[in-house]
Chains A and B, each alone.
Chain A
């Protein structure tokens, strides 16, 4: 058994056991009622089940924030670390243990503000991991402060007269990074699209960056209100290599055929002022994955000891 990038998986379960959704359920989610994170958790659990991911060979890494509680609500291995630093941790896990499947869950503060440096470089390393940005456009856990993706003019506790700056566009940033290999956007209120996008991300060979538009019902319910209430504001990017969800044809009538191999078109669509575009903007599975570039031949203890002795010869007086 090998992963998409050709690395062997340690196969503990020879009994062909079938995992059910309950095998992936951890603690009861403590997010606020109406929080978009519940929907994302459900989609992820569905993905884990449908892809039959082995729970002990799966690791969810998060930072700090509402969305970063994610790993606690799953029954896989989880690493709930520090604010903004999920990606370096995930990098270490994946570099050292390429047999593990790694998912990263970050909020907009985590990913696009305090951890922005890691975000850019992780896209460049292009490890074979799934990176989810749960973007609600607000700091929720610390109670209502402006984030880089807060819409301009939107009032918060730190910018009560309205967010001062135009928001950062995470898609444009991701599409601007050399060696980025998968950039997609979806929304938690379109679960079928969310699921299909996560599945495409999981199946992609390389770092799959998925921005998930996610509502915070407590502090920022207005952020995506227009897109939620008026499906005409949403355009689905469709392509056989990207995401196609026929069930959504009736709700989302604006559909654009977009070849996700076309980076220039992807950048134009990421900047679309008229629509919120959902779908795979860009993908290129041929881009090199860092853990493969760095793969080294493992050594036994005895081989190492002999090599250490040989190394000491170089320094012998």
Chain B
């Protein structure tokens, strides 16, 4: 087979001195069948890179099935790592280097356009000469398909070499690959050994030594056969960092907030928060209650909140839909509640494992009737930690529901951030079980702010019946329209008060210019990277990122007016002008765009996509070029 011959020659021709490429950043992937350890390999590489002082963003590549068959594109399982000489805030654009355990999983990545046109592909080569003619044919077809791009394909005899050390190469190839990558990227070997020791801490010394030997084998092979090295400079780490994914950060943030009860029902991609909490929460005096359904989960959280410290529930889109009646009850009865929605693709079951920001309007208007509540969106993994503390405090102080909108990108992304310093003010106050002063009503609304102090069971003299029916200050069922008008105003006013306590957001870039990109949630890193690149090209573009969606942060209209054009960038669906039947009048816009237009009367445009993956900074840059007013249009 001609392609094979030429590829072999690439792989085996050992250069005298490998070419060193010094780069600001590089993105690599390890892909395999499920169960071959690509993720473990990637985790070690990512952790070592972070410890050495690279900026790092990693994300898992997860197949939809739990145990997909071997050697099929849908089974691609792996790990993507972007490293940089400064902080890395998002998953980046295309992958520059891939290690693939077979050509089928590699094809999967090729077909979703994950790979740069000039990517280097290091591929296990045993399939080319496999005994099974079908596998050999599949390999040939695969190579043909890949030949359309300028990829550089380097065959690697992974299995052949691993067999010299282990009987079952399935349990070893990943460490071989780790060694290979460590050589190419000049990773610190002692840190790798430390990390391997950590990974296999529950196994015998023999296991550790075998894995180190496999790693060394990969290093030696790369040292002899790979003709380039990637150098991404590191920075001295001058402060303590922690590294985790956004769901772990949400869980740890919930603990840090002093909440003690998480009621949930399993749903992707929110569930891993409860996995984490189930492991550790009891140690902190808390518990995870897995309810019989999504409705019960929020009901249990509301019951617990009503009776004591604020509790929370965690879900994803379809679960939010089920919880909405209870959400209205919590708003109506002013029972504090934190509701986390780790968004996925929708509607309906949609894309359970993929990122989307399509729940914004559902989050804002979840409940029938007028049910004003707070909606916040963390923009980074670090913010996933801190948002829970803020959410708990707002829920308690304002006696309302705080919905936290995360998404799959934050949930599964891993990046280091400054280590939080535990602070007693994060924690909830102990329960107040003192007698209720004579005459104090359960909804003694301050007419200026709508705020009132709640009364929990156990307090002598405070007995009242909380009700979802319209009620007066005394929680008495109100049949007159005047009371409903007043209580509606009181619940609504709280949001205005909260908004008056917020600072106007600061644009990233300059305070005025040609184009302002407005985003929310996990897109912050990619948007700001795109803005950096556009500004480097001389474009007058800035970005504005919103953390509060309800109430909106103040001063938006003033900020918008300083730009010739304002667009939102979001991971949700919007119609494009130019598509059949789509006009300015009937166009359905991005969800934040819709909200901002209504709130500011500014003609906010939008660029939104639903690719089932995080937005790439390069794609956003393309949108910026396309939407620049006047001279920017290229």
Number of A-B contacts (CB under 8 A): 196
CA distance A89 to B423 in the complex (A): 31
Task: Report yes or no: A92 in contact with B261, Cβ–Cβ below 8 A.
Answer: yes
Chain A proximity of B557: nearest CB distance (Å): 38
| Residue from the set A77, A87, A297 with the largest chain B CB neighbour count within 10 Å | A77
Chain A proximity of B380: nearest CB distance (Å): 15
Number of B residues near A (Cβ < 8 Å) is 71
Contacts of B280 in A (CB 8 A): 311
Task: Report yes or no: A93 in contact with B457, Cβ–Cβ below 8 A.
Answer: yes
CA distance A174 to B261 in the complex (A): 28
Contacts of B248 in A (CB 8 A): 315
Contacts of A57 in B (CB 8 A): 457-458
Q: Which of B255, B292, B325 is within 8 Å of A121, CB to CB?
A: B292
Contacts of A80 in B (CB 8 A): 465-469
Task: Report yes or no: A95 in contact with B463, Cβ–Cβ below 8 A.
Answer: no
Task: Report yes or no: B311 in contact with A92, Cβ–Cβ below 8 A.
Answer: yes
B393 at the interface (CB under 8 A from A): no
A273 at the interface (CB under 8 A from B): no
CA distance A121 to B301 in the complex (A): 16
A259 at the interface (CB under 8 A from B): no
Task: Report yes or no: A308 in contact with B458, Cβ–Cβ below 8 A.
Answer: no
CA distance A93 to B242 in the complex (A): 36
Q: Which of B251-265 contact A (CB under 8 A)?
A: 252, 255-256, 258, 260-261, 263
Chain A proximity of B410: nearest CB distance (Å): 16
Task: Report yes or no: B285 in contact with A89, Cβ–Cβ below 8 A.
Answer: no
Task: Report yes or no: B424 in contact with A79, Cβ–Cβ below 8 A.
Answer: no
Q: Which of A89, A96, A306, A307 is within 8 Å of B299, CB to CB?
A: A89
Task: Report yes or no: B283 in contact with A307, Cβ–Cβ below 8 A.
Answer: yes
B296 at the interface (CB under 8 A from A): yes
Chain B proximity of A44: nearest CB distance (Å): 14
Q: Which of A68-76, A158-166, A236-244 has 4 or more CB atoms under 8 Å from chain B? A: A68-76
Contacts of A38 in B (CB 8 A): none
CA distance A10 to B458 in the complex (A): 8
Chain A proximity of B530: nearest CB distance (Å): 27
Q: Which of B199-207, B302-310, B591-599, B609-617 has 4 or more CB atoms under 8 Å from chain A? A: B302-310
Look across to chain B and name the residue whose beta carbon is closest to the beta carbon of A99: B458
| Residue from the set A27, A64, A87, A95 with the largest chain B CB neighbour count within 10 Å | A95
Task: Report yes or no: B311 in contact with A81, Cβ–Cβ below 8 A.
Answer: no
Q: Which of B446-492 contact A (CB under 8 A)?
A: 457-469, 476-477
Contacts of B284 in A (CB 8 A): 299, 304, 307-308
Number of A residues near B (Cβ < 8 Å) is 59
Task: Report yes or no: A59 in contact with B307, Cβ–Cβ below 8 A.
Answer: yes
Contact of A56 with B256 at beta-carbon distance under 8 Å, contacts A80-B469, A100-B307, A121-B292 already known: no
Q: Which of A79, A91, A304 is within 8 Å of B466, CB to CB?
A: A79
Task: Report yes or no: A71 in contact with B465, Cβ–Cβ below 8 A.
Answer: yes
| Residue from the set A56, A82, A97, A317 with the largest chain B CB neighbour count within 10 Å | A317
CA distance A72 to B465 in the complex (A): 6
Task: Report yes or no: B285 in contact with A297, Cβ–Cβ below 8 A.
Answer: yes
Q: Which of A60-117 contact B (CB under 8 A)?
A: 60-61, 64, 71-72, 74-82, 85, 87-97, 99-100, 117
Q: Which of B366-406 contact A (CB under 8 A)?
A: none
Contacts of B419 in A (CB 8 A): 312, 316
A294 at the interface (CB under 8 A from B): yes
B188 at the interface (CB under 8 A from A): no
Task: Report yes or no: B243 in contact with A315, Cβ–Cβ below 8 A.
Answer: yes
Contacts of A93 in B (CB 8 A): 303-304, 306-307, 457
A231 at the interface (CB under 8 A from B): no
Q: Which of B252, B261, B286 is within 8 Å of A311, CB to CB?
A: B252
CA distance A118 to B304 in the complex (A): 16
Contact of A77 with B304 at beta-carbon distance under 8 Å, contacts A82-B329, A96-B309, A315-B244 already known: no
Task: Report yes or no: A97 in contact with B308, Cβ–Cβ below 8 A.
Answer: yes
Contacts of B459 in A (CB 8 A): 56
B240 at the interface (CB under 8 A from A): yes
B498 at the interface (CB under 8 A from A): no
CA distance A113 to B422 in the complex (A): 47
B37 at the interface (CB under 8 A from A): no
Task: Report yes or no: A317 in contact with B416, Cβ–Cβ below 8 A.
Answer: yes
Task: Report yes or no: A317 in contact with B242, Cβ–Cβ below 8 A.
Answer: yes
Look across to chain B and name the residue whose beta carbon is closest to the beta carbon of A77: B457
A26 at the interface (CB under 8 A from B): yes
Task: Report yes or no: A79 in contact with B260, Cβ–Cβ below 8 A.
Answer: no
Task: Report yes or no: A90 in contact with B303, Cβ–Cβ below 8 A.
Answer: yes
Contacts of B325 in A (CB 8 A): 82, 85
Task: Report yes or no: B296 in contact with A117, Cβ–Cβ below 8 A.
Answer: yes
CA distance A89 to B465 in the complex (A): 14
Contacts of B263 in A (CB 8 A): 92
Task: Report yes or no: B469 in contact with A56, Cβ–Cβ below 8 A.
Answer: no
Task: Report yes or no: A312 in contact with B420, Cβ–Cβ below 8 A.
Answer: yes
B192 at the interface (CB under 8 A from A): no
Look across to chain B and name the residue whose beta carbon is closest to the beta carbon of A296: B282
Chain B proximity of A157: nearest CB distance (Å): 23
Task: Report yes or no: B424 in contact with A301, Cβ–Cβ below 8 A.
Answer: yes
Task: Report yes or no: B463 in contact with A315, Cβ–Cβ below 8 A.
Answer: no
Task: Report yes or no: A77 in contact with B303, Cβ–Cβ below 8 A.
Answer: no
B562 at the interface (CB under 8 A from A): no
Task: Report yes or no: B466 in contact with A96, Cβ–Cβ below 8 A.
Answer: no
Chain B proximity of A238: nearest CB distance (Å): 35
Chain B proximity of A176: nearest CB distance (Å): 16
CA distance A156 to B87 in the complex (A): 68
B214 at the interface (CB under 8 A from A): no
Query: 1/0 per residue B276-292: CB within 8 Å of A?
Result: 00001011111101011
Task: Report yes or no: A75 in contact with B311, Cβ–Cβ below 8 A.
Answer: no
Look across to chain B and name the residue whose beta carbon is closest to the beta carbon of A80: B467
Task: Report yes or no: B468 in contact with A81, Cβ–Cβ below 8 A.
Answer: yes
Look across to chain A and name the residue whose beta carbon is closest to the beta carbon of B249: A315
Chain A to chain B contacts (Cβ below 8 Å), 27 pairs: A10-B433, A12-B433, A26-B465, A56-B461, A56-B462, A57-B457, A64-B468, A78-B464, A78-B466, A82-B325, A85-B326, A88-B298, A88-B299, A89-B299, A90-B303, A92-B306, A93-B306, A95-B300, A97-B457, A100-B307, A100-B458, A117-B293, A121-B292, A296-B282, A302-B424, A316-B419, A317-B241
Binding site for B on A (CB under 8 A): 10, 12-13, 26-27, 55-57, 59-61, 64, 71-72, 74-82, 85, 87-97, 99-100, 117-118, 120-121, 294, 296-299, 301-302, 304-309, 311-312, 315-317
